[in-house]
Chain A
Amino acid sequence: KAGVTQTPRYLIKTRGQQVTLSCSPISGHRSVSWYQQTPGQGLQFLFEYFSETQRNKGNFPGRFSGRQFSNSRSEMNVSTLELGDSALYLCASSLTAPSSYNEQFFGPGTRLTVL
């Protein structure tokens, strides 16, 4: 079974631009979560989607948004990029509705560099 795929793997943008990242979950998985990973802040939760609905949102500004499609694929968008948005953006999928036994499987991430 194929794992979580994320595209693109690497991205370079300049301040003020916007970017869209894509995630395809493991086949059959309906929940997708996004995380930002930086050396200073570690792994921080962005948002979680299940059945095209945002179920949970982390403490990030409104410039960060996402959506999920009917095939469970998800995209996240960052508008008006800032230098501090440079990070590894990770997508994770899980099988069922989010629950306390939230076994999540991560993709390889998209490395975003903002110049």
Chain B
Amino acid sequence: QQQVKQSPQSLIVQKGGISIINCAYENTAFDYFPWYQQFPGKGPALLIAIRPDVSEKKEGRFTISFNKSAKQFSLHIMDSQPGDSATYFCAASGASGSARQLTFGSGTQLTVLP
């Protein structure tokens, strides 16, 4: 019940295209859903996060869409750039107990072709 399932495992997009990464969760105690971006040799960096009281959050070219009833959320990267090439992780956490720590998806390796 702690799992967060992420897809696809890898994604190749042309420059200027839209990158879409999907995540699904089971634990209804989760109420915080961040996305992290990780470059080789670096730690994950917080990109954008959403709470279940809204269905969408946009920051620049990055948008999170959240579907509470389906227990799914996704990251959309508009106008993808070669500099966006990295590994993206979705995560989820809740308010109490074992749900309080971040549970991560398995990651999506994004490659944006010039």
Contacts and interface: CB of A to CB of B under 8 A. Distances in A.
Interface of A: 4, 33, 35, 42-45, 48, 55-56, 58, 90, 92, 98-109
Contact of B100 (A4, A43, A48, A108): A48
Interface residues of B, number: 26
A17 to B, nearest CB: 24
B17 interface: no
Given A100-B94, A101-B51, 15 more contacts: A42-B104, A42-B107, A43-B104, A43-B107, A92-B102, A98-B101, A100-B31, A102-B100, A102-B102, A103-B34, A104-B34, A104-B46, A106-B45, A106-B46, A108-B42
B38 to A, nearest CB: 8
B89 interface: yes
21 contacts: A42-B104, A43-B89, A44-B104, A45-B101, A48-B100, A56-B101, A99-B95, A100-B31, A100-B32, A100-B96, A100-B100, A101-B32, A102-B93, A103-B49, A104-B102, A105-B46, A106-B44, A108-B42, A108-B43, A109-B42, A109-B43
Interface in B12-58: 31-32, 34, 36, 41-46, 49, 51
A108 B36 CA distance: 13
Interface of B: 31-32, 34, 36, 41-46, 49, 51, 89, 93-96, 98, 100-107
Given A33-B102, A102-B102, A104-B102, A43 B44 contact: yes
A58 B104 CA distance: 13
Given A99-B95, A105-B46, A48 B101 contact: yes
Contact of B43 (A4, A42, A48, A58): A4
Nearest to A108: B43
Nearest to B34: A103
B43 A107 contact: yes
